[in-house]
A = this chain, B = another copy of it.
């Protein structure tokens, strides 16, 4: 079939199609939007995409994302954060979700994923040794394992717990509560969530 769209537009559609969850139709829609948009919109999106690697780096202590000109995450260095309490998360964006609650005053540790043999991610790819070091260095009293509620997240939590025990480090460990999310009707809750909700029931 002959070429139906200008080469530059085809190219843009292909490139946009690499974004996660973006199929051919969605990529076409984005590309057509950008074609009709003012050049200043394209220019700033283009620059933001090009520069993000150079302007963002990983905190050497917590592995959170920080500005390239920062030394360490302010969520670690701020004096009002409790360094003896660590929430362990899989990905940097999980920190944003927890911070939005406004309820957590400790510090964070990003593992950089979860153990997943299918994706070829073993414990060695995760920032576990650095966490064990922090537990000792900062005399940490409690860690909240806030990995995802997936099979991988659960395995990672169990593995981490064993690593801490095996290292002979004494620290309180907990996992985020499982239960029925706010606003969800009981009849729509899945069986496993409901089982967790029963097990974790709280006295009134």
- Bound-state CA distance A35–B51 (Å) is 10
Given A5-B96, A6-B66, A53-B39, CB of A47 within 8 Å of CB of B46: yes
List chain B residues, Cβ under 8 A from A55.
Answer: 6-8
Segment among A25-33, A151-159, A163-171 that sits at the interface with chain B: A25-33
A29 to B55, CA, bound (A): 18
Q: Mark A1-16, 1 if CB is under 8 A from B, else 0.
A: 1111111110110011
Say yes or no: B8 contacts A52, CB within 8 Å: yes
Q: Could you tell me the distance in whole angstroms from the C-beta of A38 to the nearest C-beta in chain B? A: 9
Find out whether the CB atom of B2 lies under 8 angstroms from the CB atom of A16: no
- The closest CB in chain B to the CB of A44 belongs to B15
- A67 close to chain B: CB less than 8 A: yes
Which of B1, B21, B66, B78 is in CB contact (< 8 Å) with A99? B1
Cβ-defined contact, B35 with A29, below 8 A: no
Q: Provided the pairs A49-B46, A50-B46 are in contact, do residues A33 and B19 lie with their beta carbons within 8 angstroms?
A: yes
Once the chains bind, are B49 and A45 in contact (CB under 8 Å)? yes
- The minimal Cβ–Cβ distance linking A156 to chain B, given in whole angstroms, is 18
Of B2, B6, B19, B92, which contacts A56 at CB under 8 A? B6
* Residue numbers in B under 8 Å from A45 (CB-CB): 15-16, 18, 49
Cα distance A103–B5 when bound, in Å? Answer: 18
Checking B21, B28, B102 against A93 with a beta-carbon cut-off of 8 angstroms, the contacting residue is B28
Besides the contacts A35-B65, A39-B53, what 11 more A-B pairs have beta carbons closer than 8 Å?
A3-B74, A4-B75, A4-B95, A4-B99, A6-B56, A6-B67, A7-B55, A8-B55, A12-B49, A18-B45, A46-B47
